[in-house]
Structure 1
Amino acid sequence: MELKIVEVTPENVKLETLFCIKDITNPGFENKRKWFEKRHKEGLRIKILKDSDDKMIGFIEYVPASYAWRPVEAANFMFIHCMYVYSKKDRNQGLGSLLVTDAEKEAKAMNMSGICVMSSKGAWIANKGIFEKNGFTQVDQRGRFELLSKKWDKQAQEPILLDWTAEQKKYQGWHLLYADQCPWHEKSVFDILNVAMEQGIELKVTKFKTPEAAKRAPSGYGVFSLLHEGKLLEDHYISATRFRNILKKEMQLQKK
């Protein structure tokens, strides 16, 4: 199978799309496109793996760690935001490794000390297995999130995860924090906000607009957090039905 890696740029983004959202008329696409355009100047890159028929197989998004939208500290490292191979039949064939290698090559070309990534066995983030196959080792862990690193500068300090739990107590009442790093966040926020209004819940919504804000997020994922009275309830986007179930559970707890 003949493969190629295509770089998405602000100039070709509507032609190549953003992989995880392909409908350029979707409001989520436009939000991510605008976000991407700003972040591209900071070194963020999106690469799409395609076959000879121009069919999209997978993608990777990475950025210098100083501009990462995750609670991570990794001086002079590249950081992988997302990496995904869509079809199950295409997995375990080394295709994800092609994308990881691409990010590693760019990090070396930029004279960086190494490359790192967050992984998890839970939802919405890659499992660490693919990275371990490519020479990454785990250097930190908080909750369900692991931080893996591969460095070629042996003198470089290992990346660390910042303590997002320390940020949670400051969010009293109902809070929803998110960023446009994921194009599906806007729909989730819209649905959650509508349910909150239906139920008479005062929900404060905050959109992160800088990587610095995301690094200080109250969740490991960084770009989506739903909290109530200083407690993290969800760290990835959810449906209106899921939020209704959360409200029901929280109300039952309050009655006890």
Structure 2
Amino acid sequence: MELIKVTKKNIEEEHICCAISNNEDCQVVSKKQWLKKRFKEGLVFLKGNVRGKCFIEYVPAENAWCPIEANDYMFIDCLWVSGKFKGEGYSNELLKACIADSKKKGKLGLVILSAKKKIPYISHPKYLKYKGFKLADTSGPFYELFYLPFSENACKPCFMKHIKSPSIKEQGFVLYYSNQCPFTAKYVPIIEKIAHDKKIAFKAIKIESTEEAKMAPAPFVTYSLFYNGEFMTNEILSDKKFEKIVNEKAARE
């Protein structure tokens, strides 16, 4: 497999794997606009020359859209290889390229967001442990921060203190999200409309900068839904899944 680095120069010609549609699709537009702004912050997007989800996205941890303290580390935003490529070794190739690039840039190691068990949109802890990653820190309700140090004396990264127990003060549904994932461009407006039509208290807060991301109330800045102050889910909800949650809350109340 050949690895292709997506840059400002070729981004319009290259598909970005997680949103395989034409360049006029709202998901593709939002993701590519987000990437263009992040390239100047050191973000790297490497993808395989295959038609499908096979890529790794990483950035210097100081510029990571995640509330962590990991100076001089490289943060992996996403490592995604779809099931149809299972057994081909593509995940290993992408990770190996990231490690080599990070060492070349003088980084202390890699850091990545995970969880106690496999959940949507979060790297699988079993795979990370298999590749030598170690647990660095934890955050409620299930988040884990893993790191792969390049030397024995490398300092251990950690979550920022304000997200150790994710919660907010606002009542009703409150969604924090960003266009780091292309799917938010499609599905956030859908659940916003459902909430409006049902006259449900709903507020969507879009993260627009690294500074805002660092102060987000939960580790997964891409998508974090709260209800009456409590964290609910990081899964990017479809209309049916959101309506199910709304109905369950209504039944309990």
Q: TM-score, normalised by structure 1?
A: 0.90
The residue aligned with 1:45 is 44
1:109 aligns with 2:104: yes
Contact 1:217–1:223 (CA under 8 A) maintained in structure 2: no
Structure 2 spans left out of the alignment, 5+ residues: none
Deviations 1:170-200 (A, max 9, x none): 2333212110000000111111011011101
Matches within 5 A, 1:64-143: 64-88=60-84, 90-120=85-115, 121-142=118-139, 143=141
Q: Distance in 1 between matches of 2:111 and 2:79?
A: 12
Q: Which residue of 1 aligns with 2:196?
A: 197
SS in 1 for 2:124: coil
Residue 143 of structure 2 corresponds to residue 145 of structure 1: yes
Local SS of the residue matching 1:130: helix
**Residues 1:59 and 2:55 aligned together:** yes
* RMSD of Structure 2 on Structure 1 (CA): 1.8
Figure out how many residues of one structure are paired with residues of the other and give that number: 248
Q: Which runs of 4+ in 1 moved over 6 A?
A: none
Alpha-carbon deviation of 1:35? 0.9
Native 8 Å contact 2:114 2:144 kept in 1: yes
Residue identity matched to 2:243 = R
Residue 158 of structure 2, aligned match among 157, 160, 180:
160
**Contact 1:116 1:147 survives alignment (8 Å):** yes
What secondary structure is seen at the aligned counterpart in 2 of 1:149? strand
Distance across 1 between alignment mates of 2:153 and 2:207: 33
Question: What is the SS of the residue equivalent to 1:169?
Answer: coil
In 1, the alpha carbon distance for the partners of 2:25 and 2:80 equals 21
Contact 1:221/1:236 (8 A) holds in 2 = no
| C-alpha separation in 2, matches of 1:192 and 1:230 | 18
Which segment drifts farther, 113-122 or 146-155? 146-155
Check conservation: 1:175, 1:205, Cα contact below 8 A. Answer: yes
* Partner SS for 2:224: strand
Matching residue's letter, 1:109:
K
**Aligned position for 1:174:** 173
1:179 partner amino acid: S
Aligned AA (2:67): P
1:213 and 2:212 aligned: yes
Q: Contact 1:35/1:180 (CA < 8 Å) preserved in 2? A: yes
Decide whether aligned partners of structure 1 residues 203 and 48 sit closer, same or farther in structure 2, where only a CA change above 3 A counts: same
TM-fit CA distance, 1:216: 2.4
TM-score w.r.t. the length of structure 2 is 0.91
Q: What is the CA deviation profile of residues 218-245 of structure 1, one whole-angstrom value per residue up to 9, with x for unaligned ones?
A: 2332221221210112212101111111
Identity score, percent: 29
* Equivalence for 1:224: 223
